[in-house]
Amino acid sequence: MSNAPLPLPPPPEGPLEPHEPTRTRVGGHTSTMVSPLYPEATSTVMAPMEAGELPDVAAVRGPRLDQLLFVTTGVLVGVIVALLAGVAWMSTNAQFEEDSGRFTRQVQKQATELGQTLSHTLSLTSATSLRDNNYAFLGEVARSIITDNPNILRVQIYDADSQLAADSAPDAKLGTTTERKPERRGMSAIYQGKPIIEYQEPIDYGSQDGQGVVVISYSMESLQNQLHELEDAKRVQLRRNATTMAGLGLGFLLVSFVLVALLARRITRPLHLLSRQVMQLAAGDLSARTGGVTGAGREVTTLGVVFNHMAERINVLLEDVRVKAQLERDVSLARTVQETLLPGREAYQADTVRVAGLVVAADACGGDWWSRAMLDERRLVVGIGDVTGHGLATALVATSATSGFAAALTMRPPEEITAQLLITSLNVTMAHVGRGEHQMSSALAVIDTQTGVIDYAAGSHPSPLLLNRQTGQVSGLQTRGALLGASPNSQYTSRQAQLRPGDLIVWYTDGLTECRDAREKPYGTQRLAAALQANAHLPAEALRDAILADARAHGAGRPAQDDVTVIVAEYSPASPRVA
C-alpha cells in the first residue's frame, strides 16, 4: 500500500453548508436518492390528454370578422375620400390664389404703365400752358381726362411754387399750396374712400423757381371688384367640388360595403366550418376533420390542411404520451426499488466505526450504489459502485449489483469473506447481468472495528482518501483491478492498512471529482482533499454533507452530468458505540 501524501491546495474559504435532500419512505425504511448537490434535477410524468370542460365560446366578446371588415373598409374609404377632397380643395384654392395674384399683378402693371404714360404725356403737354399761365386750358384738359377714362378719379397740376394750377375736381380751390417734390413716383393712397395709386410726374416749363408737378389718381376699385368676383367664384367652385367628392365618397362606400359583404361571407363560412371542427376536436372527438376548405384564399385552405394534419398528429402524440407515461411509471417504480435497497441518509454506528453515505442521482434513476453491513460482531463491510451509462437499464444493473453484493456476503462463512473474495464474486455477477453492455467500477472494504485493520480491493474505481486527524495528512488507499463485468475471469487482489484513532476514510464516485464549474474546470481530487481537511472536525454525516455542499458551490448550479456518491467512515476507538 502506498500512503504518499497528495499535493493539496489551501482549504476553501467560507463555510460549507449542506443542502437538505428529498427523502422517500418505503415500508418503514427511509432512503435518499434526490440530490442535495443538484436540487433542480427532477422528472415529470405526463398523463394522457383528456377532454375536459369545453370553453364557453358564447362568452367571448368582441366584434365579428364581417363587422371588422365593414368598419375597417368604411374607415379606409372615408379616409381616402377625405384625403382626396382635401387635396382637391387645396389644389382648387391654390389655383384660384395663383390666378388672382397673376390677375392683380397684370392689372397693377397695366395701371402703372397707363399712369406713367399718361402722367408723362400730360407733363409734356402742360409745360407750355403752365409757362403761359393758361390755367383754364389746363383745367379743361384735366376734366377731359377724367371724362375719357373712368378709372382716373382726379388730375392735379402744380406749378414750381407748389400752388395748385389746375384740378379736375370741381370743388378744388386753385392757388392753394401743397408741398410736393418734383419727382417721378407712384404710391398707394385713398381718395373719396376708394383705394387709388397716385402717379406723379415733374413738369419742366422753364421756370426759374423749379419744376411743376402733375398728379394723376388712378382708381383700383375695379381691380378690387374683380378680385371679389374671383373670390366668389372660388367659393362656388369649392362647394361644387365638395359636393362632388361627397357624392363620390358615398358611392365608393356603397360599392365597398357590397364587395365587403360578399368577401366576408366568402371568408367567414370556411372559418365557421373550421371553428366547429376545432370545437369538436376539443370535445374529444379525434375523428374531426375538415373537407376541402375552398373559396377563402390560400391561407384558409392551408389552415384546413394543417388542422387535419394536426388532428392526425394528436392521435400519434397521445399514443406516445401513453407510452411515455407507462415508462415514467416503470422508472418511478425502479427508483422506489432502488431507494429501498440503498441505506438511509442517517449515519450508521458499528462499534468504533461510524459510516454515513449518500447517492445523488443525475437522472430519475441512477447508476451509483453503496452499501454497508456487518459480517459478524466485529467486522464491517462497505461497498460502492458506479455502473457505466444512465437511465433505466443502468439503474436496473446497479440494483442487481446491490443485490449481488448482499448475496456475496452470505455465500461463505463470515470468517472466510475478504475484500478480494467479495469483489471477485461481484465481478461474476456483473458479467452475467451486464452481458458485456454494462460494466461497473467498484471499491470494497472489510473493516475490523476492534483492531482498525482495513482490507480493501477495487476495480477501476477512484481510490478512497484516508485522513489522519492528528497530522492532517491525506493519502489514498490505492489498489488495481479491471472494470467489473468486462470478463468473468478477471483477477483481483486486496490490500490491508492499519487505521489510527480519529482516521477518516472517504469513498466517492467520479461524478464528484468530475463536477465542472462554468469554466469547465473539474472539482478534482485536490479540492476534495482540501474540503476533507477543512471539515475534518465534523462527524461523518456532517462531513459528507460539507463535501457535497462544496461540490455544489463549485458547480454553481449547473445541471448534473453524472451520479455522485460520497461515503465517509470515521474510526474512533476511544468512544465505541453500538448501532
Annotate 254-302 with three-state secondary structure: HHHHHHHHHHHHHHHHHHHHHHHHHHHHHCCCCCCCCCCCCCCCHHHHH
Give me the amino acid identity at 29: H
Give the mean model confidence (pLDDT) for residues 7-26. 39
Q: Quick check: 252 and 81 in contact, CB under 8 A?
A: yes
pLDDT above 90 for 328: no
pLDDT above 80 for 39: no
Residue 58: what pLDDT?
Answer: 62
Residue 17: what pLDDT?
Answer: 40
Please give the residue that has the higher pLDDT: either 242 or 292.
242
Give the mean model confidence (pLDDT) for residues 400-415. 90
Please give the residue that has the higher pLDDT: either 389 or 9.
389
Please give the residue that has the higher pLDDT: either 34 or 453.
453
Q: Quick check: 19 and 489 in contact, CB under 8 A?
A: no
pLDDT above 50 for 201: yes
Give the strands of the sheet with 504-508, arranged side by side. Answer: 348-350, 353-360, 564-571, 504-508, 465-467, 474-476
Residue 275: what pLDDT?
Answer: 76
Residue 41: what pLDDT?
Answer: 38
Residue 61: what pLDDT?
Answer: 66
pLDDT above 60 for 32: no
Say how far apart CA 297 and CA 75 lie, in whole Å.
24
289 contacts: CB under 8 Å, gap ≥ 6: 277, 307, 308, 311
Reference 237, options 399, 407, 99, 68; nearest CA is 99
Please give the residue that has the higher pLDDT: either 103 or 243.
243
Please give the residue that has the higher pLDDT: either 397 or 19.
397
Give the mean model confidence (pLDDT) for residues 211-234. 82
What mean pLDDT value characterizes the chain? 80
Please give the residue that has the higher pLDDT: either 264 or 6.
264
pLDDT tens digits for 56-108?
A: 656 666 676 667 776 777 787 778 877 877 787 788 778 777 877 787 777 77
pLDDT tens digits for 465-522?
A: 999 999 999 999 999 899 999 999 999 999 999 999 999 999 999 999 999 998 899 9
Residue 77: what pLDDT?
Answer: 77
Say how far apart CA 50 and CA 47 lie, in whole Å.
9
Reference 246, options 72, 417, 81; nearest CA is 81
Lowest mean pLDDT among 65-74, 112-121, 143-152, 552-561: 65-74
Q: Which three cell numbers stand for residue 548?
A: 457535497
Q: Which three cell numbers stand for residue 578?
A: 453500538
Using pLDDT thresholds of 50, 70 and 90, give the confidence band for residue 53: low
Residue 20: what pLDDT?
Answer: 40
Residue 27: what pLDDT?
Answer: 36
pLDDT tens digits for 348-390?
A: 999 999 999 999 888 777 789 999 999 999 999 999 999 987 7
Say how far apart CA 220 and CA 342 lie, in whole Å.
118
Q: What angle do CA 193, 199, 202 make, to 5 degrees?
A: 140
pLDDT above 90 for 564: yes
Give the mean model confidence (pLDDT) for residues 457-467. 96
pLDDT above 50 for 45: no
pLDDT above 80 for 183: yes
pLDDT above 50 for 242: yes
Residue 295: what pLDDT?
Answer: 60
Residue 548: what pLDDT?
Answer: 95
Residue 57: what pLDDT?
Answer: 57
- Percent of the chain having pLDDT more than 90? 32
pLDDT above 80 for 182: yes
Q: Quick check: 278 and 290 in contact, CB under 8 A?
A: no
Q: Quick check: 324 and 332 in contact, CB under 8 A?
A: no
567 contacts: CB under 8 Å, gap ≥ 6: 355, 356, 357, 370, 372, 382, 384, 506, 507, 508, 544
Say how far apart CA 214 and CA 193 lie, in whole Å.
22
Residue 16: what pLDDT?
Answer: 37
Q: Quick check: 454 and 505 in contact, CB under 8 A?
A: yes
pLDDT tens digits for 300-315?
A: 777 777 777 787 788 7
- State which H helix or E strand residue 369 sits in: strand 368-374
pLDDT above 70 for 296: no
DSSP letter string, 406-451: HHHTTSS-GGG--HHHHHHHHHHHHHHHHTTT--EEEEEEEEETTT
Residue 1: what pLDDT?
Answer: 40
